[in-house]
Structure 1
Amino acid sequence: MTDIQDPVGSAGRSLTRRVGRGILLVLSVLLATTAIVVLLSAILMSVFDSAEQWQAWRTDHYWPLFTWRLILYVSLVIAWIKLKERWTQSKQTDARKLRRLEIMVILLFVMIELSKAFIPSGGIQ
């Protein structure tokens, strides 16, 4: 008779749609990442004859690759500062939780670089 929707029923469908979209997004990102890794592996194996040759090249070119990663880290920090500035203006955020997250990311960057510096070939031989 009337086109009034039941608020309880529509909330359930909305939640289902949001969960479905979230799962679809995660699966899409995983699929895209897998495709990129496979493509890069194929390119690397066509350029280098073996994985050992690739590891030797990485070891020989540590400093240029380190410079590239450092530029990437600086870019990420600048983008994070801009995003955090906009985010804190628009929403009430817990500063302690954000600070912990930032410290954990910085420690992750340091651990990655230390592992590459002390084990440049990517593994213990």
Structure 2
Amino acid sequence: MTNIQEPVVAPNRSLARRVGRSIMLVLTALLSAIAIMVLLSAVLMSVFDSAEQWRAWRTDHYWTLATWRLVVYAVLVASWLKLKARLPQSKRTEARELKRLEIMVILLFLMIELSKAFIPSGGIQ
């Protein structure tokens, strides 16, 4: 006589509920980003008289801002390496997609910095 056990039943979440939750999460993230941008714009316009003055300040302080961005990039890389080290060895060796993603992020960092280096005022005038 064989002893057949019942499979463990996963929580029954409907597809509509999962999709709705995902949409709400994305909308919340977008609205939060918009609110932060509006708040930042209000603060910048109270500090600077015009957008041209803000652009001039940004151009004059390019190296300070570049140093800040490089520190942020270094923190992101260090955090990613710590997180990646926590992955099981089998997942790390199989993940070609992970390597592609890392290369794309490095190229993104380079494109951002090169665009800021060659067009430091924020646009072509």
In the alignment, structure 1 residue 89 sits paired with structure 2 residue 88: yes
The aligned residue for residue 39 of structure 1 is: 39
**Partners of 1:67 and 1:56 in 2: how far apart?**
18
Amino acid at match of 1:122: G
In the alignment, structure 1 residue 61 sits paired with structure 2 residue 61: yes
What is the deviation of 1:95? 2.1
**Partners of 1:71 and 1:92 in 2: how far apart?**
29
TM-score w.r.t. structure 1 length? 0.84
- Within-5 A mapping of 1:1-125: 11=12, 13-86=13-86, 88-89=87-88, 92=91, 94-125=94-125
Q: Which runs of 5+ in 2 are unaligned?
A: 1-8
Segments of 4+ moved more than 6 angstroms? none
TM-score w.r.t. structure 2 length? 0.84
Coordinate RMSD, CA, aligned: 1.8
Of all paired residues, the percent bearing the same amino acid is 70
Please give the per-residue CA displacement for 1:63-96, whole angstroms capped at 9, x wherever unaligned: 110110000000000111111222x318736421
**Partners of 2:105 and 2:29 in 1: how far apart?**
21
**Partners of 1:19 and 1:54 in 2: how far apart?**
41
Amino acid at match of 1:53: Q
Q: Which runs of 5+ in 1 are unaligned?
A: 1-6
Structure 1 or 2: larger helix share? 1
